[in-house]
Amino acid sequence: MKTSKYSLLTACVTTILAIVVVLPVRAATVKPSAATHWSLQVHQVDSGNVDLAYSFQIAIYENLVEEVNKTRRFQQVFRDGDHGVSEVPNLLVLKTTVEQYTPGSETRRAVTTVTGATKLTVRSALLTRDGRVVVERTVHGDVHFFGSNLRATHNLARNIAKAIKKTPLPDSATSTALAANKVEP
Amino acid sequence: MVHTTNNKRSCQSGERVVLRLFTALVLCSLTASAQSTIHRADGNAALNIRATHLLGFEGAKNNSNGTLSLQDGSLQFQRNGKPGAQVKVGSVRDVILGEESRQVGGLPMTLGKAAIPYSGGRVVSLVAHKKYDTLTLQYVDDDGAVHGAIFQLHKGEAGVVKAALTAQSMSVGSRQGEATKDSSGEVSYENK
């Protein structure tokens, strides 16, 4: 009777341990493998009709490349104009269009605390190579208290990267099939 | 009664000391920035200018101080005299100048201002700001990928770098033109 109790207990403990150890490892390995099929090309920022300083456009672009790289969601992150893109089978394109820009002042922020915020609003679209929109959303980036005006671009890029990280990416197989369908007459 | 007046006096003298310290800090930061020098060797051939790399220049740390130099057809950013990142002038596609007003002193100054009683830090903020030039570059690497870099320079110095870049790119362009018989230049230098 005692032995059967012990064996039952051992079996239970082993099962629990197996569940605790194996399941998270599986989850950790399965999740990224679905996403790492894709590479991403970050396009230059389109200022649209907004009068945005060129330094801000460049800062958004550079911060985007950095922040998207940090997410480790993509196999490779390419810049705009990179010739290596043509050899990549599964490519997504990140397009950013500025919708609103409120210029701020670091001095006003330091003196008044409540005014002088720099605010940026952009439309961020993730597209497949054939132009299919995977996700499109409006993202904000502000600097309210500490930091220079350019910090708004860093916050914006971080928010875009966060949004991309949460977005479920399409199955690469369906995309290639779509592309193949498009090529064939 | 005597004790309270003594306390008040010591408190006032303490505030004065803090105020003096911050005034000195502001003055030091302002005068230190004025010590930037422009060295030109061989006329237009070389240029060394103190600059702060804000972001983007390949291989250089963000928000780092160093020297922006231009020689032998390449733009280089060096920290502490060590060989740093460099870009060929021929690969620079755009140079745009800008202007920005920033608070001086960085994080230590911000913390110091927060420590001043009776919101005295706000008064210090009113005078502790300075105008800088920004130099925004757009260049391409060997793979054709577009890069951008932003440098912060003392007022009036960005124009010098731009002029030097224009001169160098023209000479590089003319040299390339001689070699390839192609005079089409894609470098545009704007002043926004």
Domain definitions of chain B by residue range:
2-180
ipTM: 0.75
pLDDT band of residue B33 (cuts 50, 70, 90) is: very low
Q: With beta carbons under 8 A apart, name residues in chain A contacting B150.
A: 55, 58-59, 150
Report the relative pairing of strands B146-154 and A39-42 from DSSP bridges.
unpaired
**Strands (E) located in A29-150:** 39-42, 77-79, 91-102, 118-128, 133-143
- The whole-number pLDDT of residue B81 equals 75
Of residues A151 and A3, the one with the higher pLDDT is A151
| A53-A57-A61 Cα angle (round to 5) | 165
Q: Which residues contact B115 (CB under 8 A, 6 or more apart)?
A: B18, B121
Q: With beta carbons under 8 A apart, name residues in chain A contacting B122.
A: 110-112
Residue B34 has pLDDT above 60, yes or no: no
The fraction of chain A above a pLDDT of 90, given in percent, is 57
Of residues B13 and A130, the one with the higher pLDDT is A130
- The whole-number pLDDT of residue B30 equals 47
| B112-B117-B122 Cα angle (round to 5) | 65
- What token pair was written down for A21? 């150890």
The residue-averaged pLDDT of A157-167 equals 94
Q: With beta carbons under 8 A apart, name residues in chain A contacting B55.
A: 59, 62-63, 150
Tell which of B57, B103, B133 to mutate to test the A interface (max A CBs under 10 Å): B103
- What token pair was written down for B133? 């030039």
Of residues B89 and B179, the one with the higher pLDDT is B89
Nearest residue to A57 via CA among B183, B50, B110, B192: B192
- pLDDT tens-digit series, residues B91-102: 999 999 999 888
- pLDDT tens-digit series, residues A62-99: 999 999 999 999 999 999 999 999 989 889 999 999 99
> Nearest C-alpha of chain B: how many angstroms from A110?
6
Q: With beta carbons under 8 A apart, name residues in chain B contacting A63.
A: 55
Sole residue written with tokens 């590479």: A39
CB nearest A54 (choices: B54, B96, B110): B96
- What token pair was written down for A10? 């051992």
DSSP SS3 for A75 = coil
Q: Which CATH architecture has domain B2-180?
A: Roll (2.30)
Of residues B158 and B20, the one with the higher pLDDT is B158
Interface touch A106/B134, C-beta < 8 Å: no
Interface touch A81/B125, C-beta < 8 Å: no
